[in-house]
Structure 1
């Protein structure tokens, strides 16, 4: 089944599948905020550090299987597989989009 994801989210997911940090960053606004496991990351430098340490190093690939719109956000759910304890783990990604960019992302397990 193919999900109909908004363009910036589809680009992020495709880049994540390739573990391509540069392309993972492209859909994010310059002042984007990402909340993951209680930590807050702001802007491209902090997002890059997070992606390199938590995604690429663990070979963590998110495979969305559901999408819905809720409270002005695009909520995408699915498992992430990789070289990390408990793999696969089901995650919920709550994206805030503006002008075809990701301005905020909250990730919860």
Structure 2
């Protein structure tokens, strides 16, 4: 499956060593919506990602990709330390150039 480079980085980054690489694929005004919370800006997104990785020790394996208007939707099997694991979740990405401008996980 061919994912756009910033989305590929999102799914292949490993915590904590790839925290800076993960932050770099998000634009400075990017917004992430996850678990009812909103995280704005690449550094806040980095902090959210590191905290989620530490809490859930999860890994997401993409299973398909679709384009919906200007959004890229990746469905992935997410396995980790949370009730209902493994679960199939949708990751809806907005892209601006070679950076992620938005992400909604659900």
**Shift, 1:23, TM fit:** 2.1
* TM-score normalized with structure 2 length: 0.89
Partner of residue 55, structure 1: 53
Q: State TM-score, norm by structure 1.
A: 0.87
SS at match of 1:65: strand
Deviations 1:50-108 (A, max 9, x none): 11221233211111100010021000001111122221111100000011100000110
**Cα pair 1:12 1:25 within 8 Å, conserved:** no
Q: How does 1:50-89 map to 2 (within 5 A)?
A: 50-89=48-87
Q: CA RMSD in A?
A: 1.3
5+ residue gaps, structure 2, are none
Q: 1:102 to 1:27 in 2, by over 3 A?
A: same
Structure 1: which 4+ aligned runs deviate by more than 3 Å? Answer: none
CA distance in structure 2 between the partners assigned to 1:35 and 1:60 by the alignment: 17
Matches within 5 A, 1:2-81: 3-15=1-13, 18-19=14-15, 20-81=18-79
Total equivalences in the alignment: 104
CA distance in 1: counterparts of 2:55 and 2:67, whole angstroms: 31
